[in-house]
């Protein structure tokens, strides 16, 4: 025990290039956001009735754009500020942010929302609409107004049953309340047309009227964002302007990158970790362009995307992904049958003391990973008789991904 305590103490005392590494995490919400003033002004204009005439109407708006364009952080910052304005005016308004990758249907959304709001609703045995009705009645009893943000809304539209989509999108067509206490903010990856194609014409027209598009970041915009995070995350002087310039140029939409701020921050974070390792080995104490080059060439841009998406997976989905990659590595095959995935998954669960999920749930997890673009599937293979599901993976080298997944699994289990 003393040895473990000393190990912890030595790790805490270990020198680092970072002062606050969390400022580079995907879930970090900065005090202010850059280059999204236009979108924030649109949100203020759309949601103004929540302040001036609370309960008069149910406001819906859609934030749509590619990954890493600031949609989620804009929603959080807007929610934080409008709640502050409402409080000063004596309006009981709360902001609730639900990620549909975790809460995949109407019941899951309402359960998470009531937990955030600390509302007690016994939900056992209630249908989704009965639970929603109880939620609305409790909001009325507490005189509470809500801006409910559904992040990863495109995913919800893909996996939720049609009746759940209808209840969310046409809430007050079902419940004819005079005071409309729930307002909706939808955050979706991809193009507005992709969202439009999954909803009925009337709802789609309403959402498109209140559409707020997000474009990929340009080089100069990424430079500002990275500079802000450098000041928060690193010791002074550890990251020079040349490093910020370099990452901005390889990531900026106008200079050949994809304009993904999350990816740019992930590259900066990974470069910082390499500098940390060098510092421990008595080498360079600054983040250099060479560290960035190592990240881009060895960490693989696809791996950065993978790690970003893993943030939205539950533990057992991550374990299934690990099982797929581990089985591919062990067999040397391009595609493996579901039976091999299942046996490997159960072995991993036994090794770490987790109760494995049933066969049907396992299949749902694999199909979910496919929808997210994390794995590949085929229903048949050349030379194999019959039809079955075969699973493959093509994003990055298996050894590198396995190592990263091991770290993420340990972090998720500890938290």
Mark whether 244 and 195 lie in a shared domain: no
Domain contains 20: no
The pLDDT score that the predictor gives to residue 406 is: 86
Mark whether 129 and 57 lie in a shared domain: yes
pLDDT beneath 70, residues of the chain: 1-14, 196, 198-206, 282, 284, 298-305, 380-387, 395-396, 414-415
Where does a domain end: 299, 334, 351? 299
Token pair belonging to 54 = 């609370």
In 160-260, which residue ranges form alpha helices assigned H by DSSP?
Answer: 162-169, 171-174, 192-196, 201-209, 219-233, 241-251
Mark whether 142 and 204 lie in a shared domain: yes
For the chain, how many structural domains are there in total? Answer: 3
Mark whether 238 and 289 lie in a shared domain: yes
According to DSSP, residue 20 is labeled -
> C-alpha distances in angstroms, 382 versus 335, 367, 378, 388, 406?
11, 22, 11, 12, 33
Domain contains 304: no
Token pair belonging to 183 = 């307002």
**Burial profile 49-63: b = 16 or more Cβ within 10 angstroms, e = fewer:** ebbeebbeebbbbbb
Mark whether 136 and 266 lie in a shared domain: no
CATH number at residue 46: 3.40.50.300
Mark whether 227 and 203 lie in a shared domain: no
Backbone angle region of 70, left / alpha / beta, with phi > 0 → left and psi within -120 to 50 → alpha = left
Domain contains 12: no
Domain contains 9: no
Mark whether 48 and 161 lie in a shared domain: yes
CATH number at residue 360: 1.10.10.10
Domain contains 23: no
CATH number at residue 253: 1.10.8.60
| Digit-coded pLDDT (tens) for 176-228 | 889 999 999 999 988 777 776 766 665 666 677 899 999 999 999 999 999 99
Q: Which residue has the tokens 């206490």?
A: 181
Q: Whole-angstrom Cα distance, residue 50 to residue 93? A: 9
Mark whether 45 and 129 lie in a shared domain: yes
Q: Whole-angstrom Cα distance, residue 360 to residue 77? A: 39
Mark whether 207 and 61 lie in a shared domain: yes
Where does a domain end: 269, 299, 329? 299
Which residues form the domain of 43?
37-213
Token pair belonging to 100 = 């549909």
Q: What long-range pairs does 332-336 form, CB within 8 A, spacing at least 24?
A: 334/392, 335/376, 335/378, 335/381, 335/390, 335/391, 335/392, 336/390, 336/391, 336/392
> C-alpha distances in angstroms, 120 versus 98, 128, 230, 359?
18, 16, 42, 33
Token pair belonging to 195 = 């969202």
Domain contains 174: yes
Domain contains 14: no
Mark whether 206 and 118 lie in a shared domain: yes
- Give backbone dihedrals phi and psi of 213, rounded to 5 degrees, phi first: -80, 150
Mark whether 251 and 391 lie in a shared domain: no
| Digit-coded pLDDT (tens) for 222-276 | 999 999 999 999 999 999 999 999 999 989 999 888 899 998 999 999 899 889 8
According to DSSP, residue 213 is labeled E
Domain contains 239: yes
Mark whether 165 and 264 lie in a shared domain: no
């Amino acid at each position: 025990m003393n040895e473990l305590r000393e190990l912890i103490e030595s790790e805490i005392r270990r020198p680092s290039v970072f002062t606050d590494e969390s400022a580079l995490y995907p879930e970090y919400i900065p005090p202010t956001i850059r280059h999204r003033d236009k979108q924030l002004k649109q949100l203020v204009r759309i949601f103004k009735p929540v302040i001036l005439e609370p309960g008069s109407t149910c406001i819906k708006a859609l934030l749509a754009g590619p990954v890493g364009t600031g949609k989620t952080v804009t929603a959080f910052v807007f929610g934080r500020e409008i709640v502050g304005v409402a409080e000063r005016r004596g309006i009981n308004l709360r902001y609730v942010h639900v990620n549909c990758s975790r809460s995949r249907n109407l019941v899951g959304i309402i359960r998470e929302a009531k937990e955030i709001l600390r509302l007690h609703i016994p939900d056992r045995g209630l249908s989704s609409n009965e639970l929603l009705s109880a939620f609305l009645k409790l909001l009325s009893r507490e005189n509470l107004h809500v801006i409910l943000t559904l992040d990863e809304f495109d995913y919800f539209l893909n996996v939720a049953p049609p009746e759940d989509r209808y209840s969310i999108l046409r809430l007050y067509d079902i419940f004819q309340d005079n005071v409309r206490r729930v307002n909706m903010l939808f955050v979706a990856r991809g193009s507005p047309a992709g969202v439009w194609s999954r909803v009925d014409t009337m709802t789609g027209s309403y959402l498109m009227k209140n559409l707020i598009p997000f474009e990929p970041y340009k080089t100069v915009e990424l430079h500002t964002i990275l500079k802000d995070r450098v000041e928060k995350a690193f010791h002074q002087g550890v990251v020079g302007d040349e490093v910020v310039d370099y990452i901005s140029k390889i990531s900026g939409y106008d200079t050949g990158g994809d304009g993904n701020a999350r990816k740019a921050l992930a590259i900066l974070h990974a470069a910082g970790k390499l500098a940390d390792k060098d510092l421990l080995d008595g080498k360079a104490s600054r983040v250099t362009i060479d560290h960035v080059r190592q990240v881009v060439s060895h960490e693989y841009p696809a791996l950065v995307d993978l790690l970003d998406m893993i943030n939205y997976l539950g533990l057992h989905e991550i374990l299934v992904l690990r099982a797929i990659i581990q089985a591919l590595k062990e067999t040397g095959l391009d595609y493996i049958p579901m039976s091999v995935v299942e046996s490997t998954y159960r072995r991993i669960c036994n090794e770490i003391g987790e109760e494995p999920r049933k066969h049907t749930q396992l299949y749902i997890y694999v199909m979910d990973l496919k929808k997210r673009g994390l794995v590949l599937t085929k229903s048949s293979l050349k030379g194999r008789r019959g039809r079955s599901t075969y699973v493959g993976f093509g994003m990055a080298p298996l050894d590198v991904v396995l190592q990263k997944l091991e770290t993420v699994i340990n972090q998720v289990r500890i938290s």
